[in-house]
């Protein structure tokens, strides 16, 4: 698709990035959106009442310098010390999330096994003994035993397969 000036549409993003890199005051964030007439627009400010997409422009040189300006993260911390690429950061975040889900799943399985073991020990037995804080063996009364059995059954029904 060609624009009226003869430029191909794919040239426009490159032109915007080049223009942003040679100006004295520039943004490290560029917003893009498609207008009602189908024309793609770029700006350092998001438009009102229009869905736009944010493009991060990292490592942009200011005029008269030889060192790229460090990009700032959304939380305001200086990202100039982080040498990882955005893709690498995303991969690491995905790996961390996967590890957290795995740990949560293992914890849930451990709790399910503990409640299942409690049921296996307490349901068939009328007399259940436990060791109290002083180290003495004490018989659990039937109300306590039934409460623990009920608690384990509810936990298993809600959280276990």
CB-side exposure of 161: number of CA atoms within 13 Å?
4
pLDDT in the model for residue 131: 87
Evaluate whether 123 touches 149 at the Cβ level (below 8 Å): yes
pLDDT in the model for residue 27: 47
Condensed to tens digits (0 to 9), the pLDDT of residues 67-96 reads 665 555 444 444 456 677 888 889 999 999
State pTM to two decimals: 0.42
10-residue mean pLDDT profile of the chain (161 residues): values are 53 61 57 84 82 73 60 50 81 94 92 90 82 88 88 90 76
43, 46, 50, 53: CA torsion to nearest 10? 80
Per-domain residue ranges of the chain: 11-83, 90-159
pLDDT in the model for residue 76: 47
pLDDT in the model for residue 13: 64
3-state secondary structure of 104: helix
Comparing CA positions, the residue from 33, 61, 64 lying closest to residue 47 is: 33
Alpha helical stretches, state H, the chain: 11-22, 86-122, 142-159
Q: Rg of the chain's alpha carbons, rounded to an integer?
A: 31
Rounded Cα distance between 116 and 156, Å, is 7
End-to-end CA distance of the chain: 55
**In terms of C-beta distances under 8 Å and separation of at least 24 residues, what long-range contacts does 26-30 make, across chains too?**
26/60, 26/62, 27/57, 28/56, 28/57, 28/58, 28/60, 28/69, 28/71, 28/72, 29/54, 29/55, 29/56, 29/57, 30/54, 30/55, 30/57
């Amino acid at each position: 698709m060609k624009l009226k000036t003869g430029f191909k549409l794919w040239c426009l993003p490159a032109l915007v990035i080049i223009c942003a890199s040679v100006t004295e005051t520039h943004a490290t964030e560029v917003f893009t959106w498609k207008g009602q007439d189908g024309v793609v627009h770029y700006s350092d400010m998001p438009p009102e009442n229009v869905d736009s997409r944010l493009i991060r422009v990292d490592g942009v040189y200011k005029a008269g310098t030889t060192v790229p300006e460090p990009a700032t993260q959304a939380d305001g911390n200086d990202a100039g010390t982080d040498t990882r690429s955005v893709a690498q950061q995303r991969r690491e975040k995905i790996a961390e999330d996967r590890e957290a889900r795995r740990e949560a799943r293992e914890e849930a399985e451990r709790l399910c096994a503990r409640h299942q073991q409690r049921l296996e020990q307490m349901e068939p037995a009328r007399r259940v003994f436990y060791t109290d804080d002083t180290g003495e063996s004490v018989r659990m009364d039937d109300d306590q035993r039934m409460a623990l059995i009920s608690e384990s059954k509810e936990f298993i029904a809600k959280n276990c397969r």
